Each structure stands twice: as structure tokens, then as C-alpha cells.
Structure 1
């Protein structure tokens, strides 16, 4: 059963899912936006969680600088502590 169709929202089905399924009170149901309700029902188009492969790609593209590469406080102030 689709809660959203090309003709709009299936409000009776959404109300059953929200009030009966999620145990929302009517005031809570009507306070939600359709996007929030669909997200709570697991039907949203939210982004997938970050995968390990994507994290590895980002780590390679934007590596952390090693401590030796970071400027020293004295260098930043223009003073030499050496």
C-alpha cells in the first residue's frame, strides 16, 4: 500500500499508520508535517548512512595533517622559540 500517490496523500492510511501504528495522539499527528510523518514511518527519502567505503574515499581525498605538518605556535606569532 502506498501512502503517497500521484493524486496526493492517502490521508486515511496515514492517519491509521500514525495514530494506530505509531500510537500518536491526534494532536501529535496533525502537528507533524507530511515529511516528518513519512520519515517516522520509514518511507522518507533520507540519505543513506555513511558507508565505510565512502569514509575511506573521503579520508584519502582530505587526509588529516600530521602533527609535524602543523605550524608551531611560535611560528604563527612570528617568534622563534628554538
Structure 2
């Protein structure tokens, strides 16, 4: 998968051909601090490939031409997005506090 569309000219997600060295961009490139590249978690290749190739049934060429954002959009389009749980109201909290007062012994 490509990081973004501009990396298509011979480069890959690991910064192959076409990527300029960090020193050409200044000491703060690419993450805005001195001392080199910040530690980032590695990209989750196995789950991404399982989702793209196995679940979405993409052809390998189509999968590898996608950016991670495009894969995310395809998965959201296929399965929707999770809706956040509605937070409890004051009435809900009051009911829970009445039902389960602090310091009470509960059989459990």
C-alpha cells in the first residue's frame, strides 16, 4: 500500500526510490523535532491484508494501489461506522446511585 498518492513514482511505503533523505529537508523533517524520526508503531500489515484481500475480496493489485485511508474508507463503506454509546443522563446516574449506594454490601 502506498502512504499517499504522491509516492507512486517508484516509491513504496517503506520509502524506496523517489524519497529524499531527511537531511535534504532540514533537521526537523519529517516529524517536527530534532534527533531523527520519532518512534511510531509499525503498520498492521496482517490485519490490513486480511481485511483488504480476504474480507473485501480486493484483487492484490487494487489492494496494493490503495492508501491506508482508502482502505479505511472502503471498510467503513462496507460495514458502516460504530456509533458511540450515548452517555448516561443525570436521571440514569441517580437511578444507579439509588440502586447501588456506596458502601453497601452486594451479593455477587
Structure ranking higher in helix proportion: 1
Larger radius of gyration: 1
Shorter-normalised TM-score: what interval? 0.3 to 0.5
Structure ranking higher in strand proportion: 1
